[in-house]
Amino acid sequence: MALADLLQQDAILPVLRVNSKKQLLQELAAKASKLIGIPEREIFDVILQREKLGSTGVGNGIAIPHGKLTSISTIQGVFARLETPIDFEALDEQPVDLVFLLLAPEGAGADHLKALSRIARVLRDQDLVAKLRASDSATAIYTFLNQDQASNAA
């Protein structure tokens, strides 16, 4: 599964300014709402409920909040690079500055897990993560994420 299948270039927030985890989740929900036409509150509630089960801050300044919605038919993503890292209650207690929101259809099952796994695998590449942190352009971020896909396919 390619990240390009999950993430459109217009789903990237290259310099997001937020002060809290809640504000971050609200901004991600707002962006996703504009892209997929689902009410912002519905998206926010789903990802907030998932966060209550345990933080999706996976470590190294990265978070992968996710949730399932009955009202979508394909897996969708939103990527944000935060201007300033925030406390996300991450597993390693480090502030988060790179966030990949993943929304999946309610019945996505294995595809949802494959997508989460792919995102986590890509974001373990320290060279890529450094490039993402240094970029303030949606086009550059999109290119970096997809160059990684191309190099992994080779």
Q: Tell me: pLDDT of 153 over 80.
A: no
The pLDDT-based confidence of 149 (bands split at 50, 70, 90) is low
- Between strands 62-63 and 57-59, the pairing is antiparallel
Residue 112 is a catalytic residue: no
Q: How far apart are the first and last CA of the chain?
A: 14
d(C-alpha 60, C-alpha 128), whole Å? 13
Mean pLDDT (the chain, rounded):
93
* Domain residue extents for the chain: 3-153
The pLDDT assigned to 147 comes to 81
**What's the predicted TM-score (pTM) here?**
0.93
Q: Choosing from 66, 81, 112, 118, which is the catalytic residue?
A: 66
Tell me the per-residue pLDDT of 68-98, one tens digit each, with 9 for 90 and over: 999 999 999 999 999 999 999 999 999 999 9
Fold for the domain defined by 3-153:
Mannitol-specific EII; Chain A (3.40.930)
